[in-house]
Structure 1
């Protein structure tokens, strides 16, 4: 496996948040991380990226322990798109935001090759026409595309996406998930995405890890994980998996 998460535990102020997380992922797969609010999903992403240090367990990338890697080395493997990035930036242009993804590869200042990579990424994500636009003037859907472009420009092999469809309308949710799926296939990226919409997870993820109280409840394909019984166990609601029109649809009853 290209990403292995083995027995990860983490606590905030001695309060356990992750209680032994185990899952794995290959490049070219989209892994959905699902669970109720407060189940430890964002904490799990931050442990993978070593923004947080687990108290127990190991995370391996291509067999290498993340705990023993330099931050600069991790940045060449992992691209992280957190929530609420907009307020952290003082009106750079889209081109400048995407160029930030080249930071792990730049010793002093961007070279022509870095600029070429950024232009290629902007074109491949169909946002080249936004290059001179200010980041804080973008729509929610455009913002997500630009942040994903920044991670792609980083040339990382793994993308960690914290609720990439949050605050998007249905059109942009589908657009972003189609983009994520396409990038994972065409560029052989491993994508870990926190997703709240069960239908999106069911239809776009290759694998799902279902969490509750910092523990893995189920891990496997969407059909294996998103069953009526496991949805009730984790979310406390009754559900039916409807396949009338081909694609599965989760109906909360």
Structure 2
């Protein structure tokens, strides 16, 4: 099964933000969306999630299901979306907030299976350590983990994450990316993650898609796609590339850095090792 985005155009008023984007994401694959601020990453993810409407092109799943035409409840059984942030100001405890991800599946009352999904998602994100605290008592990073757990509790076929690590410290950044990678593989989910950190993208994603001024300008495994010329074009920064433990690494250069140790040259012939994921979604 494949998520296909074909010649997608999305705009706000007369301004086009996504301009003819075409890409695909297979089940079991985590694809990183890369690009500078304003390049169209969030707009593209929100459009796949059904929050934005496209003016041209198509978004299809499994060979022909038009995601934009599905009722919201049916779409929520396929697609889970994690925004950059959201105010968790409502009076719910953590379990109740994560349970919101199960609402497409039950009527007036959750079943045992729904609670099993909630508890499994909470364990994955380390939220069981917080007990039954109210979401209003959580830090921004903890609240972001609740949103991710809520999405995983949906048991989605497509997982969309819009810069999910922006409010997290380095421990939970790596935990969250490890969870995203493990879930896409072990639960056969098509995953798309908008991310700023090029080195984390190289470590955790199967493929990267670079957006520049709303257009897809590169698509492929990080080791094949990353180049100083491409990164300069997208971010306006001079970089050097190296290999570390089987993964490509990006090193920004500066006038000061030129006089210090330079990284070993990048050899693009290696095959990146897959990120290991030990986390299970199943209860």
- Taking structure 2 as the reference length, the TM-score comes to 0.84
What SS does structure 2 have at the residue aligned with 1:59? strand
1:20–1:141: structure 2 CA closer, same or farther, 3 Å change rule? same
Q: Which residue of 2 aligns with 1:84?
A: 85
Q: Which residue of 2 aligns with 1:204?
A: 204
Kindly state the Cα deviation for residue 217 of structure 1 after the two structures are TM-superposed.
Answer: 0.9
Q: Which residue of 1 aligns with 2:138?
A: 138
Alpha-carbon contact 1:122-1:131 (below 8 Å) kept: no
Q: Which residue of 2 aligns with 1:99?
A: 99
1:244 and 1:102 map into 2 onto residues whose CA distance is 40
Alpha-carbon contact 2:159-2:191 (below 8 Å) kept: yes
Q: Which residue of 2 aligns with 1:168?
A: 168
Q: Which residue of 2 aligns with 1:239?
A: 239
1:47 and 1:244 map into 2 onto residues whose CA distance is 35
Q: Which residue of 1 aligns with 2:73?
A: 72
Kindly state the Cα deviation for residue 141 of structure 1 after the two structures are TM-superposed.
Answer: 4.2
- Taking structure 1 as the reference length, the TM-score comes to 0.93
1:149 and 1:88 map into 2 onto residues whose CA distance is 14
2:156 and 2:67 map into 1 onto residues whose CA distance is 14
Alpha-carbon contact 1:144-1:176 (below 8 Å) kept: no
Alpha-carbon contact 1:18-1:40 (below 8 Å) kept: yes
Q: Which residue of 1 aligns with 2:50?
A: 50
Alpha-carbon contact 1:141-1:176 (below 8 Å) kept: no
Alpha-carbon contact 1:202-1:226 (below 8 Å) kept: no
What SS does structure 2 have at the residue aligned with 1:114? helix
Q: Which residue of 1 aligns with 2:229?
A: 229
1:235–1:124: structure 2 CA closer, same or farther, 3 Å change rule? closer
**Max radius of gyration: which structure?**
2
Query: Residue by residue, what CA displacement relative to the aligned partner does 1:74-125 show, whole Å, maximum 9, x if unpaired?
Result: 110000110221x243241110111000111122222333223322332344
**Per residue, is there more helix in 1 or in 2?**
1
